[in-house]
Every structure is written in structure tokens, then in C-alpha cells.
């Protein structure tokens, strides 16, 4: 992940179960890898971010999470209940806030390869009083639904404050740049 501020918070939350935040690759290394592999022959470091990782320590509880991956791909268990904390982590990792030039922001969460369970996924939100739509492997919230969703989850974790900004495109851009360590003048 490139959002170091979030990973430092996550590392703190995990306590002794985390091995700490580690720089995995610098922006220059990522650009060089993409040039050498031919993926992006003109890749320049200023278009990349340093990438960080956090590794968890072994713990017997972690084995219980294997049931999410029995089929070889992630599958949310039928017993899952959506809480603000679970939704928050899901949104910050797989979601986005679509902040356009005109119109109001809308939240969405990308769900790859889950079209066979769209009713189950939508029902998770309906159980907590939200009613997003689903299409193209994405859970989508309308303008008012986005406000309700963000209010329900309450405060964002450090590094993802920008995904809660509904009132100002400038503030959204500034907070996002801060989260990703970009030095921009605003």
C-alpha cells in the first residue's frame, strides 16, 4: 500500500500482532521495474509512490479466517454481519469517493468476481438501513445514501480522511495529496 499514514495507524491497532511498517519498494524502484519489464517503458519515479507493507504475526485466531478463502478466492462467510468498523475497512481498502467537477460525491466499493452473490452483499447494507445498488462488480451509493453511509461509519481512519469529504473538491484533493505524501501547493 502507498498510504503510509494508514498503515502506521493499522500497525498501532494490531499491536504485537504486527511486525511493523516496512518500505517495500521506493517510487524509483517501481518506475524502474515497470520500465525494465516493458509494462511502462517511459515510467518516471515522480509518477509513482513509495510502497509499504505490514505483515501480521502468526496467531491461532488467524487460522479461522482461512474459511474466507476455501475455494481459492475470497468469499465472505454467510455469517458476516456488517458493522461500522468492518464497513470502514472495506471502504478504505476497496472503495472510492467519486468526486467530480460538477455534482455531488458518491461512494462505491469495488467487488471483484462477486456477481453471483450480489443479493447477499446488498443485504449486508440493507440490514443496517442502507440501500445501495449493485452493478459491474461495484456496490454504489447515491448522493444521499453516501452521506448516510459515511455518517454511519463515523470517523475515517488516519490517512483516509479524504474519502469522507463531501463539501469541497479542493479539501478532498488536499487531504488525498497529504495521505499519499505528495507535495502540492493548494
Write the pLDDT tens digit of every residue in 113-159: 655 678 888 999 999 999 999 988 899 999 999 999 999 999 999 99
pLDDT tens digits, 39-62: 999 999 999 999 999 998 888 877
Confidence category of residue 86, pLDDT binned at 50, 70, 90: very high
Which domains are assigned to the chain? Answer: 4-57 (no CATH), 71-179 (3.10.28.10)
Between CA 139 and CA 125 the distance in angstroms is: 10
What predicted TM-score, i.e. pTM, was given to this entire model?
A: 0.82
Cell output for 174: 488536499
Structure confidence at residue 186 (pLDDT): 39
Amino acid at each position: 500500500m502507498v498510504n503510509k499514514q494508514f498503515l502506521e495507524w493499522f500497525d498501532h491497532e494490531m499491536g504485537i500482532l504486527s511486525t511493523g511498517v516496512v518500505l517495500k519498494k521506493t517510487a524509483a524502484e517501481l518506475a524502474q521495474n515497470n520500465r525494465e519489464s516493458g509494462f511502462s517503458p517511459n515510467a518516471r519515479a515522480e509518477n509513482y509512490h513509495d510502497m509499504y507493507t505490514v505483515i501480521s504475526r502468526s496467531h491461532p485466531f488467524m487460522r479461522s479466517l482461512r474459511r474466507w478463502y476455501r475455494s481459492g478466492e475470497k468469499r465472505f462467510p454467510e455469517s458476516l454481519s456488517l458493522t461500522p468498523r468492518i464497513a470502514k475497512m472495506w471502504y478504505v481498502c476497496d472503495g472510492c469517493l467519486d468526486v467530480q467537477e460538477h455534482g455531488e460525491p458518491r461512494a462505491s466499493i469495488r467487488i471483484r468476481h462477486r456477481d453471483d452473490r450480489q443479493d447477499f452483499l446488498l443485504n449486508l447494507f440493507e440490514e443496517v438501513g442502507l440501500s445501495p445498488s449493485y452493478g459491474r462488480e461495484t456496490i454504489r451509493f447515491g448522493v444521499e445514501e453516501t452521506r448516510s453511509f459515511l455518517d454511519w461509519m463515523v470517523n475515517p481512519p488516519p490517512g483516509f480522511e479524504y474519502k469522507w469529504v463531501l463539501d469541497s473538491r479542493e479539501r478532498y484533493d488536499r487531504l488525498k495529496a497529504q495521505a499519499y505524501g505528495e507535495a502540492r501547493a493548494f
